[in-house]
Structures are given as structure tokens and as C-alpha cells.
Amino acid sequence: MKITVDEDKCCGAGNCVLIAPEVFDQRDEDGIVVLLRSEPGAEERAAVLEAAAVCPAAAIEVHEEA
Amino acid sequence: MTPPGSIVIVGASAAGLSTAEALRRLGYEGRLTLLDAEPHQPYDRPPLSKQVLAGAWEPARAQLRGQTQLDALGAEFAQGEPAVALDAAERSVTTASGRVLRADAVVIATGLTPCRLPGQDGPAGVHVLRGLDDALTLRAHLTAARRLVVVGEGVLGTEVAATARTMGLDVTLAGMGGTLLGAQLGEVIGGELARKHAERGVRLRLGVTVDELTGADGRVTGVRLATGELLPADAVVVAVGARPATGWLAGSGLRLGDGVECDSRCRAAEGVYAVGDVASWEHEGYGRRLRLENRTNATEQAQVVAANLLGADRPYTPIPYFWTDQYDVKIQAHGLPSPAAELSVAEGDPAEQRFAALYREDGRVTGVLGWNMPKQARLLRQQALAN
């Protein structure tokens, strides 16, 4: 899976970090999402999909290989 | 439990769409239908009072998902098809066009209807802001208008005032509360925000009620306060709260109080669930009934509703969260920061417009606030708040 984030849409809620802290973080200065790993392994899949699903700004997109 | 063979979701905004997506993610392969009164593809609401109103985003940027993602859901989207009745026992939904949909399960995600002032529907130039069309109509008017009066000192009213002021309009905000966002965040933070608006040139009339809207030749000309003062305006935005959109559920057999009354699993009746702004449910963590009007709740509750539809037995016990962006301030509020709570700064410095604070009641932390400190507020939430 490959993840992209839209920094302009991100509202800094940090829900993604609460759900998948191995994959997402926030910038110290403004809370905008930081992608720690853009192609995480299978063990992170469920958490990443949930993080994308609950993001209140719809700022996380997950692209899964067909 | 056998998973339902067909599910109808009434409302295809953030809560309804997220429920559909979560169902598919959890492996649901049955029939899925989403009804919505809106003619537009599902879009997000928080940008409406900010980026879309300001013109910084094209409306399409506020769409929740692209066409490919919507197609991948394998759902039928019936747009411009408002539901007008539900029979909860039969799980059948009737739409405005007379279509009747029976399903094994129904999800209610019809959101809110804005409250209006008496006489509001008379003169032109008086707006509410709930949907995309509202935002575009208001934007078109604000690009031509000079003087705006916003009625309401809550999240929506203050955001509209900030956006309009940034667009260069002369803005007055009138509200019944004594400060801005006082009901949500208390007097200290409310006062801080009121100072920010005043600095930026917004005139504030707080602790006042509106007597009437004045008009001439069919157009609004001002807002008269109970104090007698007349606030001249060529545009007025009424942001005095909203009610759960449950009118269509009269006679459904469901319990309707402040929203659709659900149990702790977000279940309103056998095979009937509610999600998002419209849902009132028993929060087992707080030991009381709650209904949240915020964007995060829509997606978080959707995950639990989808799981429960498929046979899980999960209580919904979120830590509430909302944010608002106004001028150069990003406010983040976690938990239930009641106006009665005591506020103390935990990090940063209010003088530098960057701090995080804790709300305490009876010695317990009940809320966390970030003022231009989103990450630190989230970290404090993880340390201090639990459910």
C-alpha cells in the first residue's frame, strides 16, 4: 500500500497519530501531518485504513496495489 | 448473527458515506444504497465556512471522495432523493419521489437543519450556512456586499465573521452569549477569541438578543437589537444553531428526543442505527446521553455503527473533539470543556498566541485546549483524558 497526504486539507486533529503512530506524526509547529512511512508493511494495513477513514479532513489517501 | 443482506443509508454526507466505506472495509458484500437530499456528490462541510466561502478552494476541492473511490464502493447513490418516511419495524424508507426501499438494516445519517429567526424568510440577503449551495450563494453575495451582520457567537458564526472580515467586508457579530464560543470553551478562551476578532476590526455586540430584521424593497437593510440599536447590513448570516433533521421520522416508531435516541451501540431499533449529528446515544464512559455536532464524530461513530451492523457489540465511547480555524488561530478542543471548568495553561504562553491548556472540574481533567498548538494538545489529551 502507498499513502499520500494532503497537507493543505489537514486540520491537525492528530486522529491518524492516535490510531497509527508508527506511520503518522505531526509537525511540532503547526500540527500538520507528517508521513513517517509512505509504504508501510502489511502489519500496519488495518491501522492505516482506519486512520484514513476517520481523518476529519479527508486528507489521507491510501492506494492499494490491485 | 447473520449479516444483513441489504442496507439503506439515509444521508450521504460525512457520516453516511463513512459508514458505507467502513462496511465495505469490514467485508460487507451485500447491497448498499445511499440516499441523499443533496444533488451534489458527497462533500465536506468544515471548508464551507472557510476555504470555500473565501474562494480559496474551488467547490470540487471540498468533495469527500473522487469518482473512482465512489465507484469502488459498489453502492447505489440516489442523489436529490430525500427520504420522507421510515417504518422502523419494516425497515422501509419512502422517498420524496414515492420510491419505497425495504432493507435488512437502515442507517439514519440525515444531520442537522439550521435554526432560523422569525421573519427571516421575508427579505432577500439573509442567509443560513449548512450546505454547499448555501456557501456558494453566500459567497456570491459577500463579493458584492459591503456590510455583513452575523447573528450567533458559536463556531459557525465566528468562522463566517472571520472569513468575511478577511475578504474585506465591514462585519458586526451579534450574539446572545456574553463572549465568543462561551458555551463551547468558557469565558477565558472566549474572551481571548473576542479580542482577536476585535483586533481584526469585527464589531461585537454580545449578550444581546435580536428583535427583528429590517428590510426595504424586499431586501434586508439591518438587524435591530433588543437594546434598540440598529445594525445596518446588506447581508445577514443567521448562525443560531441547528436541530437534528428528524422531521421525516415522525410516525417511524423511533424515539425522538434531542435527535434519534439510540442505545450505547448507536442502535435506535432492531436493524436501525443512527450516526453523526442526528444521533443521540448513551456514552458509557461519561454515563450519560450525548449528541455531538462535530465533524470528527461523524467518521468515528461511522466505524462503530458499521461494525455493529455486521454483528459486533461495540459501545461508542469517543473523546469528543472539534477544531476551528479563524484568522491565524487554530483552536483544538478535546474532551468536554464545560464553561464551568477551571482553565490552566499547561504549555506555551498565551501572550505569544501559542499555548495548550487543561480544563478541570472537581480536580479532574475534563478537556484539553490547543491555541496554535495542535500537536501538544493531542499529546496532552493522550496523557490526561481517557474513556
**ipTM metric:** 0.96
Q: What is the mean pLDDT of residues B224-235?
A: 98
Best of A16, A19, A33, A54 to mutate (most B CBs within 10 Å, chain B)? A54
What is the rounded CA–CA span in Å between residue B338 and residue B266?
24
- Grid cell digits, residue B85: 418516511
Q: Chain A contacts of B329, Cβ < 8 Å?
A: none
CA–CA distance, B28 with B309 (Å, rounded to integer): 10
* 3-class secondary structure, B305: helix
If asked whether residues B225 and B333 sit together in one domain, one would say: no
**Which residue has cell 480559496?**
B56
Last residue of a domain, one of B240, B270, B297: B240
Say whether both B180 and B225 belong to one domain. Answer: yes
What's residue A66's pLDDT? 52
Contact A53 B382 (CB under 8 A): no
Please check whether residue B356 lies inside any domain of the structure.
yes
Of B240, B255, B288, the position where a domain reaches its end is B240
Mean pLDDT of A30-43: 96
| Mean pLDDT over each residue of chain B, to the nearest integer | 97
Q: Range with the lowest mean pLDDT among A60-64, B160-164, B266-270?
A: A60-64
Q: Any idea what the CATH number is for the domain that residue B28 is in?
A: 3.50.50.60
- Determine whether the interchain pair B21/A53 forms a contact, defined as Cβ–Cβ distance below 8 Å: yes
The CATH architecture one would assign to domain A2-63 is 2-Layer Sandwich (3.30)
Distances (CA, A) of B68 to A29, B27, B72, B83, B214: 35, 19, 6, 26, 48
A:B CB pairs within 8 Å = 69
User: From residue B228, how far is each of B136, B176, B223, B288 by CA, in Å?
Assistant: 32, 15, 10, 41
Q: Which residues of B touch A13 (CB under 8 A)?
A: 296, 321, 323, 332, 374, 378
CA distance B150 to B49: 12
Q: What total of structural domains would you count in chain B?
A: 3
Domain ranges of chain A: 2-63
What pLDDT shows up at residue B199?
Answer: 98
The length of chain A is 66
- Asked if residue B214 is part of any domain, the answer here is yes
Query: Which H or E element spans position B256?
Result: strand B256-257
**Statement: residue B387 has pLDDT above 70:** no
- Are B181 and B281 in a shared domain? no
Residue B106 located in a structural domain: yes
Mean pLDDT of B58-64: 97
Q: What is the pLDDT at residue A65?
A: 72
Residues whose CB falls within 8 Å of the CB of residue B229, separated by 6 or more in sequence, listed in order: B205
DSSP state of B48: G
User: Do residue B70 and residue B158 come from a single domain?
Assistant: no
Q: Which residues pair with B8 in a beta bridge?
A: B33, B106
| One domain for residues B120 and B101 | no
Range of the domain at B214: 116-240
| Eight-class DSSP state of B10 | E
Tens digit of each residue's pLDDT (9 = 90 or more) over B101-148: 999 999 999 999 999 999 888 899 999 999 999 999 999 999 999 999
B108 and B125: one domain?
Answer: no
The contacts found for B144-147 with CB under 8 angstroms, 24 or more apart, are B145/B169, B145/B234, B145/B235, B146/B170, B146/B234, B147/B171, B147/B172, B147/B232, B147/B233, B147/B234, B147/B235
Are B109 and B276 a contacting pair, CB within 8 Å?
Answer: yes
Instruction: Tell me the CB-side half-sphere exposure of residue A25, using CA atoms within 13 A.
Output: 7
Chain position carrying cell 490491485: A66
Give the best residue of A9, A11, A16, A62 to mutate against chain B (max B CB count within 10 A): A11
Q: Is the pLDDT of residue B338 over 90?
A: no
- The 10s digit of each residue's pLDDT in B262-313 is 999 999 999 999 999 999 999 999 999 999 999 999 999 999 999 999 999 9
Task: State the Cα torsion B377-B382-B385-B386 to the nearest 10°.
Answer: 150
Mean pLDDT within B73-96: 97
Q: Report if residue B166 sits inside a domain.
A: yes
- B141 and B211 together in one domain: yes
Determine how many CB atoms are found less than 10 A away from the CB of residue B182. 23
B127 and B235 housed in the same domain: yes
Q: List the grid coordinates of A2.
A: 502507498
If you measure CA to CA, which chain A residue comes closest to B371?
A: A30
Residues B11-58 pLDDT 10s? 999 999 999 999 999 999 999 999 999 999 999 999 999 999 999 999
Distance CA B253, CA B319 (A): 30
Pairwise CB contact (< 8 Å): A13 & B22: no
User: Do B134 and B86 belong to one domain?
Assistant: no
Cα B169 to chain center, whole Å?
25
B46 SS3 class: helix
Confirm whether B314 is domain-assigned: no
Paired strand residues for B210: B225
Q: Of B316, B317, B356, whose CA–CA distance to B337 is shortest? A: B356
Instruction: Name the average pLDDT for chain A.
Output: 95
Tell me whether residues A28 and B375 touch, CB distance under 8 A. yes
CA distance A26 to A12: 7
- Decide if B364 is inside a domain: yes
Q: Is B317 part of a structural domain of the chain? A: no
User: Angle of helix B155-166 relative to helix B182-199, nearest 10 degrees?
Assistant: 10
Per-residue b or e along A45-54, where b marks 16 or more CB atoms closer than 10 Å to that residue's CB: eebbbbbbbb
* Axis-axis angle for helices B14-25, B295-309 (nearest 10): 40
Distance CA B210, CA B29 (A): 52
Nearest in space to B256 (alpha carbons), one of B278, B232, B226: B278
Residue with cell 451501540: B265
Q: Which residue of B has its CA nearest to A17?
A: B378
Neighbours of B364 (CB within 10 A): 10
Same domain, B250 and B104: yes
- The confidence score (pLDDT) of residue B234 equals 96
pLDDT tens for residues B184-215?
999 999 999 999 999 999 999 999 999 999 99
- For residue B342, give the nearest of B307, B369, B309, B322 by alpha carbon: B369
User: Same domain, yes or no, for B288 and B358?
Assistant: no
Both B372 and B351 in one domain: the answer is yes
pLDDT of residue A64: 85
Beta bridge partners of B371: B331, B355
